[in-house]
């Protein structure tokens, strides 16, 4: 039961950190660059460390016996940590008045002009904006990306409702 409360505590801590750092993340470096903050990398490493601690508790205790709940928790924490690390390291983008260049860990490369933007919608459940271009390519801009506020400012200036 202690592992459950540790998970809840970690999730609440991450939520509070994101809310506190939201304005800093929104503005970013203010140079047109997009990328995840070091907070995402830190959370990824924290999840991997927690997965290691769960593994240690399973295999290094007084009576080492793996069990399904701890094993599942270890796998989920480890995969979530790897996902965050991949996103934090491999996702980058740049914007200017003419267009956006974006490379995502799981979405590939997109290099599009603003005039080819077909639609913008907000996904409330995932807290990201989905930009769809005439070519069919999409970009998902997470609210955890440093500099996403610059993209929203450009989109508003071009008449999109964001």
Domain boundaries, the chain: 2-90, 95-157
pTM over 0.75: no
Residue 32 pLDDT level (bands cut at 50, 70, 90): confident
CATH number of 95-157: 2.40.50
Strand partners, 60: none
User: What is the residue-averaged pLDDT of the chain?
Assistant: 87
| DSSP code of residue 134 | T
Name the pairing type of β-strands 145-146 and 33-36. Answer: antiparallel
pLDDT at 1: 56
Residue 23 pLDDT level (bands cut at 50, 70, 90): low
């Amino acid at each position: 039961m202690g592992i459950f409360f540790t998970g809840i505590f970690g999730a609440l801590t991450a939520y509070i950190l994101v809310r506190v750092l939201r304005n800093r993340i929104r503005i970013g470096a203010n140079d047109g660059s997009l990328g995840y903050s070091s907070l995402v990398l830190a959370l990824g490493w924290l999840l991997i460390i927690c997965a290691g601690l769960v593994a240690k508790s399973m295999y290094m205790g007084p009576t080492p016996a793996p069990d399904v709940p701890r094993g599942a928790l270890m796998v989920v924490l480890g995969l979530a940590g790897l996902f965050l690390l991949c996103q934090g390291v491999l996702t980058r983008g740049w914007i200017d008045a003419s267009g956006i260049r974006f490379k995502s860990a799981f979405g590939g490369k997109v290099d599009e002009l603003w005039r080819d933007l077909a639609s913008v919608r907000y996904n409330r459940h995932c807290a990201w904006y989905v930009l769809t271009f005439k070519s069919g390519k999409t970009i998902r801009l997470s609210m955890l990306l440093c500099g996403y506020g610059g993209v929203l400012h450009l989109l508003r200036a071009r008449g999109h409702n964001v």
